[in-house]
Structures are given as structure tokens and as C-alpha cells.
Amino acid sequence: MNTNKNMSEVKLMKGNEALAEAAIRAGCKGYFGYPITPQSEIIEYLAEVGRERGMVVMQVESEVAAINMVYGAAGAGARAMTSSSSPGISLMQEGLSYIACAELPCLVVNINRGGPGLGTIQPSQGDYFQAVKGGGHGDYHLIVLAPASVQEMADFVFDAFDLADKYRNPVMILADGALGQMMEKVQFKKYNPEEHKVDKLWATTGKEKSRERNVITSLFIQPEKMEQVNLHLMKKYKEIEKKEVRYELLETDDAEILLVAYGLSARICHRAMELAREQGVRVGMLRPITLYPFPYNALRSLRDNIKAALVVEMNAGQMVEDVRLGIEGKAHVEFFGRMGGIIPSPEEVFEKIMKLDARLSNMTLKDIITSEIRHSHVSYRSVRKKL
């Protein structure tokens, strides 16, 4: 890795700092934020080194103001971002809905902490639904990237800005307090923002005589016009779902049990998988990297070869619903989660795998599938083929 000329030297950094450094290198020109644990290192890092490297860095009066400043800055054609943690991201939902409808490219970082309410400052994945299902009002999607290491906390910033510009869509990096606070090795890839620049002819930079005025708005008062905007957005989301799904597969070739986990819980599952493999249990793993668009197709191609999926999250069971949608009753689906800011240990997950394996070996394939039908209300006919 060290010899790769496309990478910088190896550094030891916190996840939040690596993300902030990547934002500067990605050509982000405006950061607007409000302090909240466990992500304040982002604004602190940028306040220290961002300004001298050409970035406007502002601590403002609220998350509400911050997201609307991102709206203004992105609408003016600049790469702009904000970051926060769960309660602060809730305050930004109105602005995100407007940004999605006005099609403004920007980056929003959520360093997820435990909730609901003021909750805890410890890590959590409890904001999955909010991030991937909309969050604010109306029909829209953010593109959601879920890093699982400090290296990815940096790498995904570049991807996020490129995706945002490509689709004129807000992108969220959804990590958690542990990924934000942990220190790991990181290398920054060579990235010249000039080479990634796209023409933003729609931006409000001042009306030249040669063109009509540019208006950035999410107001379409005529129902027929609003529906046209909705249809345009749906078309864009379809394209994103077709082209931008990212995931990682580990040891799935012979897997009977498929772990499904993202972010920090994927790292825990990785270790649990190794422990189970040592015991001869055939375990594989699917790690969704884009949470929206979700890798349903990966599940569709795996579901016929596995007996069961075990979904591990740091919440009460959110992504598991998407896993069920992908598996469509063709394998057993179980969930294991910890909440309250508690991180599950590899041993806990290992234990769940072993128990699941023991149960599965006492069940026939028919038992497994009929049990899943009971759980997920999938019709018997839809899974009959597999029997």
C-alpha cells in the first residue's frame, strides 16, 4: 500500500478527522455545522485547517440554519456539506426534503448515536430508517453510504461528492460514534477536484444576458407540474438503483448462513464469521455499502443457496426489513441487535450463529421455509418452487 503512487503517506487518524481531511481534499468549499457529540471533531478539524486551505467553515446557530446554508451554498454551485449526529440530523429533515426536491448536490454526514430522543452519545445504527426511507416529508431519497473503517470514512467523501454532482442529489454518509471516534491507519487517494468538476449551469451565480434566470425551488403549486417533478425524481432514483448499488461479499460461495450487516456491525460480524468457520460452520457475509440503493439483487442471487440469513444491527431491527424484501421468504431470516449505544461483541454474534446452526440442522428445508412464511407473511405459492 505504501508504495502506491496514487496514495498519500499512511496516517493515524480518528474517523471524524479523516472524513474532514477528505472533505478539504475533495474540494468542498463550504462547511456549515453545529457542535454535537460524537462528531464535533469534524468541525474542530476544519476550523483549524480548513480555512487556510480555501474552505468556508462556519459554526452557526442551529442545525436548521446549517442545512439551509448548505442549500444556499450548493445552489450557488459550490461543493458544500454539513455534519451532525442523530438529534441534529432530525432537525435537518425539513431542509433535506427541500434539497432533494430542488436537486442540490451536497454531503450530509450522520455520526449516528443512540436514540430516540436525546438518547445517548454512544454509537448506534438507529437512524437507518430515517436515512434510507426518506426522513423528511414527501417522496425522495438520499444516496446513503455506510463506511466500516476510518479508511472508508475518508474514501466515501470523494465518492459522495462525485455521486452528488452526477445525480444532483444529496448524499449521506451514515456512520456511528465508534467509527467517528476510533483511530486507524488511513491513506488519502490522489484526487484533483478540478478533474471531477461538472458544469452547474443551473446554479444561481448571477443572471448573464445570454441566459434565462436560474431559479432554485421546490415549490410547484400546480398538481400536474408537481407530479411531473415527482416522476422525474422517481426516474432518477431508478437509475441510481440500477447503477450505484455497492456491497461486499465474504465467503459466500459455500455459505449456509449469511450474515448481513453494515458499518461497525459488519466488522463485528466479520470476526464472528471467522470464529464460526473455525468451528466448521459455513458462514458468509453480505455487507451493504450503499444502504440506498439497497443491494436487493445481491440477496436475490444468494437466497437460493443459503438456509438462513442473520441480520446484525445496532438497533431494534431496521435493515432486517430490507433483507426480508430481498429474500422474499426463500430463506429463514433472523435478527440480532443491541441498542442503547451498546456494541454487540463478536462472541455474542458467534453464539447466535452457533444456535442458529444447531436449530437449522434439526430442521428440514421445508421446515425452514414454512417457518419463514409464518414470520414474513409471504404466500406459500411464491416459495413452492424452492421446495
Partner 1 sequence: MNEILTSAMNTAEILDGMECVWEKPETLVDVKMHYCPGCGHGVAHKVLMEVVEELGVQNETIGVAPVGCSVFAYNYMNVDMQEAAHGRAAAVATGIKRMLPDKYVYSYQGDGDLAAIGTAETMHAANRGENILVIFINNAIYGMTGGQMAPTTLLGMKTSTTPFGRDTESQGFPFKITDLIAQLPGAYYVTRQAVHTPNGVRKFKKAVQTAFQHQKEKKGYCLIEVVSNCPSGWKMTPVVSNKWMEENMFPVYPLGDLKLNGKLVND
Which one, 207 or 355, has the nearer CB to partner 1? Answer: 207
User: What CA–CA distance (Å, rounded) separates 115 from 123?
Assistant: 10
Which one, 65 or 182, has the nearer CB to partner 1? Answer: 65
Strands 290-292 and 143-145: antiparallel
Per DSSP, the three-state class of 230 is helix
Which one, 3 or 222, has the nearer CB to partner 1? Answer: 222
Which one, 66 or 157, has the nearer CB to partner 1? Answer: 66
Taking each helix axis from N to C terminus, what angle separates 223-243 and 93-102, rounded to the nearest 10 degrees?
90
Please report how close the Cβ of residue 65 comes to partner 1 at its closest, in angstroms: 4
Which one, 216 or 249, has the nearer CB to partner 1? Answer: 216
Per DSSP, the three-state class of 282 is coil
Which one, 216 or 343, has the nearer CB to partner 1? Answer: 216
Bridge partners, 306 (sequence order): none
User: What CA–CA distance (Å, rounded) separates 250 from 273?
Assistant: 9
Please, are residues 145 and 156 in contact by the beta-carbon 8 Å criterion?
Answer: yes
Which one, 216 or 339, has the nearer CB to partner 1? Answer: 216
Q: CA dihedral defined by 377, 381, 385, 387, rounded to 10 degrees?
A: 60
Given the rule CB under 8 A, which residues bind partner 1? 29-30, 32, 56, 58, 60-62, 64-66, 68-78, 80, 94-95, 98, 102, 204-209, 213-219
Please report how close the Cβ of residue 79 comes to partner 1 at its closest, in angstroms: 10
Strands 80-84 and 106-112: parallel
Please report how close the Cβ of residue 27 comes to partner 1 at its closest, in angstroms: 13
Which element (helix H / strand E) includes 104?
Answer: none
Please report how close the Cβ of residue 304 comes to partner 1 at its closest, in angstroms: 47
Please report how close the Cβ of residue 219 comes to partner 1 at its closest, in angstroms: 6
Closest CA to 203 of 194, 217, 214: 214
The amino acid occupying position 107 is: L
Please report how close the Cβ of residue 72 comes to partner 1 at its closest, in angstroms: 2
54 Ramachandran zone, left/alpha/beta (phi>0; psi -120 to 50): left
Please report how close the Cβ of residue 173 comes to partner 1 at its closest, in angstroms: 20
- Is the N-terminal amide bond of 293 cis, ω within 30° of 0? yes
